[in-house]
Chains A and B, each alone.
Chain A
Amino acid sequence: MTEQTADSIIPAGHQAETHGQLTVFSVHPAELETVVLHLYRERQLPLLMITATDERVEGRGFRIWYIFGIPGENRFVAPFLCLDGTVEFPSLAPAMHEAWAYERRIQTFFGLRAVGHPHPLPLILHENWPADCYPLRKDFGWRTRPESAQGEPYPFQKVAGEGIYEIPVGPVHAGIIEPGHFRFSVAGEEVVHLEPRLGYTHKGSEKLFEELPLPDKIRLSEKISGDSSFSHCLAFCQALEALAGTSVFDRARYLRVIYAELERLANHLGDLGAIMVDAGFNFGGAQCSRLREMIMQINEILTKSRFLRGVCAIGGVTKEIASEAAARLTSDLLRIKEDFSGVMEVAGSSASLLNRLITTGEVPMEIAREHGVVGIAAKAHGIASDARRDYPYAAYDRLFFPTAFAQARGDVYDRFMARATEVPDSITIILTALSAMPPGEIKPPSPSFSFRKNAQALGIVEGWRGNIVYFVRTDEKGEISRVAVRDPSFLNWTVLGYAATGDIVPDFPLINKSFNLSYSGNDL
């Protein structure tokens, strides 16, 4: 049944190649739009990532991969383009808005031209980066330090009219947050237009993935977005396990669920508190940051790392939860659950807090869909996007899974409540996993792995912001030749401007906090 559905997606006359969950097939540039739009519009498959690989050394030119998920079947399908002797590919952005930012990124980093892209400006790299220098091409050495260029200043969208003025905010902010520039066009206090500009934390992480030895690659994945260390590492390890054909011990699968949910808990509690602090509701803010700290301390006791670093490994996890620790975790979580429901009761009955949250920062449903928002931002619209259910990994297929939060306004309140609903759900999942966890080993003994040659694999994990996608490709020696990372922030950043439009400037920090997107995960 499953085979049949996946196969029916592949157009006639195409040779498909399947490794594990990922089926790929080559398409001709002329038929690209038909094939991809068939998957996107008619089959309604979620687009997970568009990325490129440079395989010119192997004589295969550049490849562009259009990766879709098939929810419910736990499979992925990826048509790909081979660009041999050309650097041009047809842009899908006019027909499929989600492709917009991916194509700009491919243009910037691979020097491939998206023909027909409506707004083909560089993304992430700024005007001080030389125009003809493409860092993800294989002939660009990772230690190269190009001369600083004097490019044209970035053309921000101009809003003209009486009384409209621009406020530049950032990249240096008054608080200790990541750097990003926000260009507001305002009429008095009302935001008429907002354009975020990112890239200030670009570190060349994807290039580093190609260079570092394997253990460092895994460590690097933990640093892509520090608050999602475990989820990022898990997504990367899952892709590597698919390439190596490694199976994961049962107990490790359950432990992965527990650690992943602990990470979600810590971040959701932190965000709920931060949203309340930004609204000036200090009681809720103080309580939630206290609860977050409790989770962080649990993390440290269990794994010696507050951010669960060094916990995930290929084939399993490195940290065991012994039975005494499990009993203590259970009682701690039950107490946190009770405290949390008390705090939310107080918060939910504060008229002044609700007044700040409800209708603030609404994203129109159509905008959210067209930009392919994921995770919390999608759940706030009632869009059921959750990799734990759609592509069950670790032990999620065997655990109780609560129904998604459904609201429709997509405002700060809905994003707040989406998190607040997930907190008790996560605790339930951890408690179930703790009791259902079978005894056994948690990590394969030998650390040597060999990856399939000329192959590719996908790892997807529902991080606390939304799904994290890793696409890994190997060369003909079985070495990892490309790691493409898609943090949920990359998609959700695109709707932030819409969320702020029509609101007032003093509410922007609250709106921004309700998304709480990663700059590092976006800029890579």
Chain B
Amino acid sequence: MHTFFDILQILLIPLASPLITGVIKKLKAKFQNRRGASVFQPYRDLWKLFHKDEVISQDASWIFRLAPCIVFAVTLAVGAIIPLIDLATFAAPAGDLLTVIYISAIGTFFLALAGLDTGSAFGGFGSSREMTVSALAEGGLLFSFLVLALVAGSANLFSIADSILTTGNFYLQPIVLAGIGFFIVLLAENGRFPFDNPATHLELTMIHEAMLLEYSGRRLALMEWAAANKLFVFMTLGANLFFPWGLMHTFSPGALAAAVVIFLLKIAALCLAIAFIESTIAKFRFFRLPDILFVSFTLNIVAIGLIK
């Protein structure tokens, strides 16, 4: 049984992530009175891209060719060491919060390098904007995790979830504040509204997409898939660290069913929140983005102050 959960721990994120983006797109369509594509459309898109020819710029170096694999591998690695359903998984000892933050940073680093690599004007724009946003988001991310680490007295994500499950009610205020701070970072790190518009075709406004403009075929598919993984990873972190109720301690069919259902509900709520934001507000001007990220940072500082 444990082998099954261990395999699930590794494969759940990459297998389910396209569905998550599909669900968000569907919900957005519903909010806008449209019918929208099927929730399985992202799988079909990936399938299509994997079967397409690829064009690679003559000026591209090994960084451009290798970056999609690195970025994708990073999301796989991070996805494997975060609490998903089972707290007693083999991956638990590796799930350190600093490990998660800085392994993710490797992905961002290579993504930005790949954007610069071909020397196109838009790639440079995208990389410069991505680094601006992610440098400002890092503080919010680190401090929101720090709130949890201080509450739990541990930097291990599984211990944090475990500890909040048992003692969380005493620290509800700081955890909720840090959760909001984390959600803002989630939007920033994944290029969602109000930071970036994942649906735009306007090359001058893009952040994440601008770095991918030169990619096509298989490598584009890997990049898109990695982006979906990253979003799912962040949603899972938000759902299972700040609100860990439902996570399975020891295996029993009832606990498993409850864990799965509650996890799905939490993820669905986050999808709903993202779709709602993207349907109701406009994207912010680029220079207003730091303000929102400072809000995230401030919320986390306040949360730390509230811990007794």
Contacts and interface: CB of A to CB of B under 8 A. Distances in A.
A169 B284 contact: no
Interface stretch (A314-322, A417-425, A505-513): A505-513
Interface string B112-138: 000000000100010000000000000
Nearest to B288: A355
A404 interface: no
Contact of A509 (B121, B193, B204, B288): B204
Interface in A267-284: 276, 278-283
Contact of B28 (A175, A282, A352, A508): A282
A290 interface: yes
A168 interface: yes
B303 to A, nearest CB: 26
A169 B206 CA distance: 14
Given A189-B287, A507-B285, A174 B202 contact: yes
A504 interface: yes
Interface string B275-289: 000111111111110
Nearest to B31: A283
Chain A contact residues: over half helix, strand or loop, or mixed?
Answer: helix
B272 interface: no
Residue among A167, A279, A282 having the largest count of chain B Cβ atoms under 10 Å: A282
B287 A504 contact: yes
Given A167-B121, A174-B213, A290-B33, A280 B283 contact: yes
Given A167-B121, A283-B32, A286-B34, A174 B282 contact: no
A280 B197 contact: yes
A355 B282 contact: yes
Interface in A347-394: 350, 352-353, 355-356
Given A167-B121, A173-B203, A280 B213 contact: no
A287 interface: yes
Contacts of B194: 280, 352
B279 A282 contact: yes
B282 A280 contact: yes
Interface string A159-202: 00000000111000111100000000000010000000000000
Interface string B34-67: 1000000000000000000000000000000000
Contacts of B104: none
Contacts of B285: 355-356, 504, 506-507
Contacts of B308: none
A175 B201 contact: yes
B154 interface: no
Nearest to A169: B204
A291 to B, nearest CB: 12
Contacts of A350: 280-282
Chain B contact residues: over half helix, strand or loop, or mixed?
Answer: loop
A286 B33 contact: yes
Contacts of A353: 281-282
A279 B282 contact: yes
B286 A352 contact: no
A275 to B, nearest CB: 10
B205 interface: yes
B100 to A, nearest CB: 30
Contacts of A282: 28, 32, 199, 278-279
Contacts of A510: 205
A504 B286 contact: yes
Contacts of B205: 278, 506-507, 509-510
Contacts of A280: 193-194, 197, 200, 278, 281-283
Interface in B187-242: 193-194, 197, 199-205, 213
A237 to B, nearest CB: 37
B121 A168 contact: yes
Contacts of B199: 282
A282 B278 CA distance: 7
B121 A287 contact: no
A281 B282 contact: yes
Nearest to A176: B201
B32 A506 contact: no
Contacts of A509: 202, 204-205
Contacts of B278: 280, 282
Contact of A508 (B204, B213, B281): B204
A141 to B, nearest CB: 40
A281 B200 CA distance: 11
Interface string B258-285: 0000000000000000000011111111
A196 to B, nearest CB: 13
Contact of B203 (A174, A276, A355, A507): A174
A169 B31 contact: no
A352 B288 CA distance: 11
Given A353-B282, A504-B286, A505-B125, A278 B31 contact: no
A244 to B, nearest CB: 46
Given A174-B201, A282-B199, 10 more contacts: A169-B121, A174-B203, A176-B201, A280-B278, A280-B283, A281-B281, A282-B279, A286-B34, A350-B280, A507-B285
Q: Which 7 A-B pairs have the closest CB atoms?
A: A280-B283, A175-B201, A286-B32, A509-B202, A281-B282, A352-B281, A174-B203
23 contacts: A174-B202, A174-B213, A189-B287, A278-B202, A279-B283, A280-B281, A281-B281, A281-B282, A282-B28, A286-B32, A286-B34, A287-B33, A350-B281, A352-B282, A352-B283, A353-B282, A355-B284, A355-B288, A504-B285, A504-B286, A505-B204, A508-B204, A509-B202
